C-alpha cells in the first residue's frame, strides 16, 4: 500500500508540474508542448475548447490505442497523469495571471516545468499520453526507438499549428520539446 501511495503522489505531482509549465507558460503563448499540445491549441483556436479539456480529449483518444499494446495498468496510470495535467492546465489558465509576460522567460520556465513533470511521470513508468503513445506503437511495430516517429509526428503537428496560428511557434516549440535522439 505504501508503494502505491508513493507512486500515486509522484504521478499527481508530475502531472501537476507538467500542467503548470503548459498552462501558465507555454499555452498562453500558443507554444505547443508536443504533438498533443499542438492539436489541443488547434482545437482551442478552431472550436474554443479550453486547452486543458482539449489536451485531455486528445490524450485520452490516443491512449485508447495503447491499451492493447501496453496493458491496462499502464493506461490507468497514464490516465491519472494526463487528467492531473489537464486539470492543472485548466486551474492555471483560469486562476493565475501573469501581468507582464516575456516570451523567452515563459518559454524557458515552461520548458523546465514541462521537463520536470514528464521526467517524474516517466520515472514511474507512466506516459504523459498524446502522440508519444502513437510513436511507441509505431516504434514497436518497426523495431525502432520511439524518438524518431515522435519527432516526425511532432514536426508535422508543429507545422500545421504554425500555419494556422503563427509561424514563430515553430522556433519556440523545438526548445520546449528537445531534438530527436538516436
Q: What pLDDT, in 10s, does the model give residues 7-48?
A: 999 999 999 999 999 999 988 887 877 788 888 888 988 999
Residue 21 domain flag: yes
The structural domain count of the chain equals 1
Residue 103 domain flag: yes
Query: What is the distance between the alpha carbons of residues 111 and 61, in angstroms, rounded to a whole number?
Result: 25
Residue 143 domain flag: yes
Residue 37 domain flag: yes
Residue 182 domain flag: no
Instruction: Indicate the pLDDT class of residue 175, thresholds 50, 70 and 90.
Output: low
Residue 94 domain flag: yes
User: Are the CB atoms for 103 and 29 separated by under 8 Å?
Assistant: yes
Q: Identify the domain containing residue 138 by its residue range.
A: 2-177
- Supply the pTM of this predicted model: 0.76
80: pLDDT strictly greater than 80: yes
Query: What is the distance between the alpha carbons of residues 1 and 164, in angstroms, rounded to a whole number?
Result: 48
Place of cell 500545421: 160
Amino acid at each position: 500500500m505504501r508503494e502505491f501511495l508513493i507512486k500515486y503522489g509522484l504521478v499527481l505531482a508530475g502531472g501537476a508540474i507538467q500542467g503548470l509549465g503548459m498552462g501558465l507558460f507555454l499555452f498562453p503563448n500558443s507554444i505547443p508542448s508536443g504533438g498533443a499540445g499542438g492539436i489541443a491549441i488547434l482545437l482551442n483556436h478552431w472550436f474554443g475548447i479550453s486547452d486543458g479539456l482539449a489536451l485531455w480529449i486528445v490524450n485520452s483518444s490516443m491512449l485508447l490505442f495503447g491499451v492493447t499494446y501496453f496493458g491496462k495498468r499502464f493506461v490507468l496510470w497514464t490516465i491519472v497523469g494526463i487528467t492531473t495535467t489537464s486539470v492543472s492546465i485548466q486551474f492555471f489558465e483560469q486562476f493565475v495571471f501573469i501581468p507582464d509576460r516575456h516570451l523567452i522567460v515563459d518559454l524557458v520556465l515552461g520548458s523546465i516545468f514541462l521537463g520536470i513533470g514528464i521526467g517524474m511521470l516517466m520515472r514511474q513508468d507512466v506516459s504523459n499520453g498524446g502522440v508519444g503513445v502513437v510513436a511507441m506503437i509505431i516504434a514497436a511495430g518497426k523495431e525502432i526507438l520511439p524518438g524518431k516517429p515522435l519527432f516526425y509526428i511532432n514536426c508535422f503537428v508543429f507545422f500545421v499549428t504554425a500555419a494556422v496560428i503563427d509561424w514563430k511557434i515553430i522556433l519556440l516549440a523545438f526548445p520546449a520539446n528537445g531534438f530527436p535522439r538516436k
